Amino acid sequence: MQQFQPPPRQVFEGEYLPPQRPGSNNTWKGFGAGAVGLGIILAKFKSLWFLLLSFKWIGFLFSSKILLASLGFFASIWFYALFWGWKFAFVFVILILIHELGHAAFMRFYGVPASLPYFIPGMGAMINMRGRPASQLEESYIALAGPLTGTLASLACYGYGAMSGDQFWIAIAYTGFFLNLFNLFPVLPLDGGRVVGAISPRIWIFGLVAMIVAAVAFRWFNPLMLILVVFSIPQAIAAWRGRIDTAYHDLAPVQRGGVALAYFSLAGFLFAAMLASQVTVPH
């Protein structure tokens, strides 16, 4: 008896077909072979290895924060590649990096010391502010800079995809738009929480309730959502009780209006961009 083979699936024009995830056995075999090969190399050239480690610049590299940031960067690419393939993962992590560099540029502009971008596989990236801006207005500008630069990078992907007809770039643009829109959610420590603090800290209460409702309604039950909810509770309680630094949050009405206009305009644009960049992904 001949074994029945189903006909190949048809892919229609305009449809983005993501790369197939490789089998786990092959993946782990590849890692095992690589580890064995690395061990053989180190064993045969151990004298050269110890000689290189004696140089000060090697010790500086391995003790510096640059190595930690680089490891997080490549670990994130590897993690996302398990689900979406290497090409998608690489571009996606670059979009996250551009988002964080937008924050870093405005921190530098306002004289706020900042760390390198540190990537956490599956949870994005972060830049640690080693200081405090002069006012909530400056903090809102720093927070808006990330989604703004990330939006511009996503627009570049969308424009290239539209001109070339390559649906991959449309799909990655959609992911970038979603990433930056999610960051505008009005809860701390997301960018949106830092922005709406310049409008009214009491918005943090609405943002916390909205995030819990969205998590239940859309079944966003994952560690990231739990972390965001837990971290936003103390700030929402403080805003509810009025226990905020009034001098830090003291902005003129025109300044609050300008931040609100920029915030809602960017959020509205990202939502419209998501609708425009949707592509069909087969199941």
pLDDT in tens, the chain (283 residues): 444 444 444 444 444 444 444 444 444 444 444 444 444 343 444 444 444 444 444 444 444 667 666 777 888 889 888 888 889 999 999 999 999 999 989 998 988 888 778 787 877 777 777 778 888 889 999 999 999 999 999 999 999 999 998 899 999 999 999 999 999 998 888 899 889 888 888 888 888 888 888 778 877 767 777 777 777 888 878 878 777 777 777 788 898 899 999 999 999 999 999 998 886 554 4
pTM exceeding the 0.85 threshold for the entire prediction: no
Cα 115 versus chain centre, distance: 16
pLDDT of residue 150: 95
Write out 129-195 in H/E/C secondary structure. Answer: ECCCCCCHHHHHHHHHHHHHHHHHHHHHHHHHHHHHCCHHHHHHHHHHHHHHHHHCCCCCCCHHHHH
pLDDT in tens, 186-243: 888 889 988 988 888 888 888 888 888 877 887 776 777 777 777 788 887 887 877 7
pLDDT of residue 274: 92
Contact 264, 160 (CB under 8 A): no
Residue 116's SS3 state is coil
